[in-house]
Amino acid sequence: MDIYAERASNIRRTWVLVFGFLIVVIAVGYGISWYYGNPAILYIAVVIAVVTNFYAYWASDTLVLSLNRARPATREEFFDFYTVAENLSMAAGLPKPKLYVIDDPAPNAFATGRDEAHAVVCATTGLLSMMTRPELEGVIAHELSHIKNRDMLLMTVAVVLAGFVAIVADIFLRLSFWGGGRRDDNGNGNALLLVLAVVGIILAPLAAKLIELAVSRRREYLADASGVLLTRYPEGLASALQKIGSYTTPMQHTSLATAHLFIGDPFGAKSGGSSGWIERLFSTHPPIPDRIKALLGPKA
């Protein structure tokens, strides 16, 4: 499959996963409203989800930069970072994003912001000191591709929905300990539907998290492919990923809430080679060797 076909395939699969996310949220709201016999709960759940998403959309860049202790990058201090971002932004037809750095020796980078006009690209000082210019171009092209492909919006929605489902499920389980719930005319609960509703609500946060992680992994493959289309030099990004993947020390300040945004796992690459299927299932990033193979072909 060529790189254009892979990009189209990943876009279709991502939208399927996002719609699956919305179904999970609606199902959780419906299950809780049925359990308490109050349809208003479903409407309240949907309203809260929309309001939360709206806030996260407008404030995503500020929140992410604050969580990761980032500071603005100046042209004088980080000349290569600045000029590479300028040149690639022009090539991609994008406004130059705001540039930030994180004082951390681990090589990593991410993009955030609500749209192309309010985008941010952030890199660690470790990445900027470790990469050659072609490697840095590969990383920046990857991050600009996240901006171009509107990945930031999709991932913000995915993360907020996953968190929303987990919070609602936790509230439901705590309230259920106090009794209550739907009853039929004889005063007895419908045991089968009750069990299904409770089990479904317990499993919903897990399902939501898995969908979020799947979306994140798909977007990384797509950004890799799109970045190569921009630089026309897959070896640059592949070499950068190799360096990122060989660095096993976690970043000094990490957050599960923003881990999926980074080009590499901020908790450090796993030593010992390939991981098992369970570890891959719960990973925020696809394995580095798989990404390099997708860039360079089976011989990589």
Convert the pLDDT of each residue in 154-193 to its tens digit.
Answer: 676 666 666 667 777 777 666 666 655 555 544 444 565 5
Q: Which residue has the higher pLDDT, 297 or 213?
A: 297
Q: Which residue has the higher pLDDT, 152 or 188?
A: 152
Same domain, 56 and 74: no
Number of domains in the chain: 2
Whether 75 is covered by a domain: the verdict is yes
pLDDT at residue 218, as a whole number: 77
pLDDT band at 222 (very low <50, low <70, confident <90, very high): confident
Same domain, 7 and 57: yes
pLDDT at residue 19, as a whole number: 73
Q: Is 102 helix (H, G, I), strand (E, B) or coil?
A: strand
Rounded CA separation 165/37 (Å)? 20
Domain boundaries, position 242: 66-150+232-296
Same domain, 70 and 140: yes
Whether 204 is covered by a domain: the verdict is yes
User: Which element (helix H / strand E) includes 203?
Assistant: helix 191-231
Rounded CA separation 221/240 (Å)? 15
- Residue 212 designated active-site: no
Catalytic residue among 76, 116, 135, 143: 143
Q: Which long-range contacts (CB under 8 A, 24 or more apart) does 44-49 make?
A: 45/168, 48/164, 49/25, 49/160, 49/161, 49/164
Nearest Cα to Cα of residue 88 among 125, 129, 143: 143
Same domain, 174 and 244: no
Which has the minimum average pLDDT: 82-91, 256-265, 266-275? 266-275
User: Which element (helix H / strand E) includes 222?
Assistant: helix 191-231
Same domain, 241 and 284: yes
Rounded CA separation 291/269 (Å)? 14
In DSSP terms, 120 is beta-bridged to 98, 112
pLDDT at residue 92, as a whole number: 93
- Burial class from Cβ neighbours inside 10 Å (0-12, 13-18, 19+) for residue 13 reads middle
Residues 92-119 as b/e (b if ≥16 CB within 10 A, e otherwise) read bebeebbbbbbebebbbbbbbbbebebb
Whether 224 is covered by a domain: the verdict is no
pLDDT band at 1 (very low <50, low <70, confident <90, very high): very low
At which residue do the structure tokens 């690639």 appear? 88
Same domain, 92 and 201: no
Whether 202 is covered by a domain: the verdict is yes
pLDDT at residue 272, as a whole number: 44
Which has the minimum average pLDDT: 86-90, 157-161, 218-222, 251-255? 157-161
The rounded mean pLDDT for the chain is 80
CATH number of the domain to which 281 belongs: 3.30.2010.10
Same domain, 8 and 140: no
Nearest Cα to Cα of residue 159 among 19, 21, 297: 21
pLDDT at residue 259, as a whole number: 83
Same domain, 78 and 139: yes
Whether 268 is covered by a domain: the verdict is yes
Q: Which of 215, 242, 261 is the last residue of a domain?
A: 215
pLDDT band at 67 (very low <50, low <70, confident <90, very high): confident
Which has the minimum average pLDDT: 55-64, 85-94, 114-123, 207-216? 207-216
Same domain, 91 and 181: no
Do residues 260 and 159 lie in contact, with contact meaning Cβ atoms separated by under 8 Å? yes
Sheet with 109-113: list strands edge to edge: 71-72, 98-102, 119-124, 109-113
Longest dimension (CA), the chain: 77
Same domain, 237 and 146: yes
Whether 227 is covered by a domain: the verdict is no
Residue 14 predicted with pLDDT over 70: no
Same domain, 58 and 72: no
Same domain, 58 and 70: no
Structure tokens given for 234: 């897959």
Whether 191 is covered by a domain: the verdict is yes
Mean pLDDT of 219-233: 91
Nearest Cα to Cα of residue 145 among 224, 242, 83: 224
Q: Which residue has the higher pLDDT, 77 or 206?
A: 77
Convert the pLDDT of each residue in 107-146 to its tens digit.
Answer: 999 998 878 898 999 999 999 999 999 999 999 999 999 9
Whether 32 is covered by a domain: the verdict is yes
